[in-house]
Amino acid sequence: MKLSTQRWIDRWVGQLLCSVVSVWARLTGGQQPQQRHPDAPRHILVILLSEMGSIVLAGPMFAALRARYPGATVHVLQLKKNQEVSVMLGLARPEHLHALDDSSGLRLLRDLWRVSVQLRRLPLDAVIDCELFSRISSLLAYLTGAPLRAGFTPHTQEGLYRGSYINRAIPYNPYQHISQQFLSLVDALESDSTPRNKAAPIRELPVQTGLSVPFTAPELQAYRNQLLADHPALQERKVVLLYPGGGILPERAWPLSHYAQVARGLIQAGHAVGVIGLRSDAELAQELQALCESALCVNLTGYTRSIRELLMLFHACDLLLTNDGGPGHFASLTPIHTRVFFGPETGRLYGPLPGTAGPRARIYESGIACSPCLSAYNHRLTFCDGDNQCLKRIAPEPVLADALNALQHPLIASA
């Protein structure tokens, strides 16, 4: 289903349904929490429908849940296309992972009904809705029947109505990193103050994600050997990976001409370049290859068949230059050095955590007046009409110099 269609349905149909459910909850007393287990919730559902990269940033929240409620069963509801990441990271047992298929309107409606019935049958004590102002996630939180429902509230923000039945609501804070705000949702489960996070503990920015993907040395070496066998141009050279695609939000992409200028400079210095992405990014990779005019620029789009293979590719290479998106967050789970371009969104809210990628990662932002323009308040709908000056003004020359320095002095670059 198109993103614009999802936004339209969520805005108009979602607000209507939220109004109806709010009235119902007020009449039936469903706004006030009455815990089935007064000591601590034993069955918790986390709703996380965002992009795959958000799952990495939610790692500290899952660690906090496990630490605070060690005997609790954690369920996770997410989009089907993102479920591979949760399985790989072990966020919950496979039988406790629930998915929605949003590939078409009919499939989404079918799964909404199926999942609602399935979750209603569970003995859920609490739901944590990690979506910012999505109506569908707040409705699902109520339909589970869980007495405790934690989520974000717009408070007095106009046009962001999502019902009044989230009874452990905290104000969304656009000045705090999203990982900190996820942790506040955990704190809200045990708070009855107003506002809900007023009595919560002070949360510093988490240092670690609390996530890891174990690999054996032979497994990584076998993958590297296969990579070099498939692409001999990469042999005996340091390899820099480029992710020039913008995914579902093309305005997040650093200009391809800038990527090409950096790639040519890296190749002239004796390094090799690999262009990564989905199979649908193959045309973009071919265009970049044409701009480089070198066999040392290799098309790796579609080469990795899973997120786990992508992580092994990161282990096998030396540096990643990427637009804001999943690859930059997954890279934080590996030793690769990373440079991430932000503009429509900001690294201050969505950047890698300092203890994982921090010493090896650098964020590039231009800081022009209209940046960042994507936010929870405008449902990530920008007004720049494709002319993303925030990224165009990040010049390629300093990025190339930084990349060459990171490749030549990796230990210094990590300091």
Tell me the per-residue pLDDT of 249-289, one tens digit each, with 9 for 90 and over: 889 999 999 999 999 999 999 999 999 999 999 999 999 99
Q: Are residues 184 and 224 in the same domain?
A: no
What residues contact residue 355 under an 8 Å CB cut-off, 6+ apart?
Answer: 206, 207, 208
pLDDT of the residue at 196: 58
208 domain residue, yes or no: no
Task: Please report, for the domain that includes residue 251, its CATH number.
Answer: 3.40.50.2000
Alpha-carbon distance values, 124 to 28, 95, 243, 325 (Å)? 19, 15, 40, 32
Give per-residue pLDDT as tens, 66-122: 999 999 999 999 999 999 999 999 999 999 999 999 988 899 999 999 999 999 999
370 domain residue, yes or no: yes
Give per-residue pLDDT as tens, 365-399: 999 999 999 888 887 888 887 899 999 999 999 99
* Cβ-count burial 102-130 (b if 16+ within 10 Å, e if not): beeeeebeebbeebbeebeebebbbbbbb
Q: Are residues 366 and 245 in the same domain?
A: yes
Range name among 9-18, 300-309, 338-347 with the lowest pLDDT average: 9-18
pLDDT of the residue at 278: 92
Tell me the CB-side half-sphere exposure of residue 71, using CA atoms within 13 A. Answer: 6
Q: Could you tell me the pLDDT band of residue 35, with boundaries at 50, 70 and 90?
A: very low
| Pick from 316, 272, 330, 318: nearest CA to 298 | 272
Q: Are residues 264 and 129 in the same domain?
A: no
Domain containing residue 291 = 217-414
Q: Are residues 237 and 386 in the same domain?
A: yes
pLDDT of the residue at 393: 97
Q: Are residues 310 and 375 in the same domain?
A: yes
200 domain residue, yes or no: no
Q: Are residues 234 and 292 in the same domain?
A: yes
Task: Report how many domains make up the chain.
Answer: 2
Q: Are residues 223 and 184 in the same domain?
A: no
pLDDT of the residue at 38: 47
Q: Are residues 361 and 249 in the same domain?
A: yes
| Pick from 170, 165, 134: nearest CA to 151 | 170
Task: Look up the pTM and report it.
Answer: 0.92
403 domain residue, yes or no: yes
Q: Are residues 270 and 379 in the same domain?
A: yes
85 domain residue, yes or no: yes
Element (DSSP H or E) covering residue 253: none
Q: Are residues 168 and 228 in the same domain?
A: no
Q: Are residues 161 and 244 in the same domain?
A: no
Q: Are residues 14 and 92 in the same domain?
A: yes
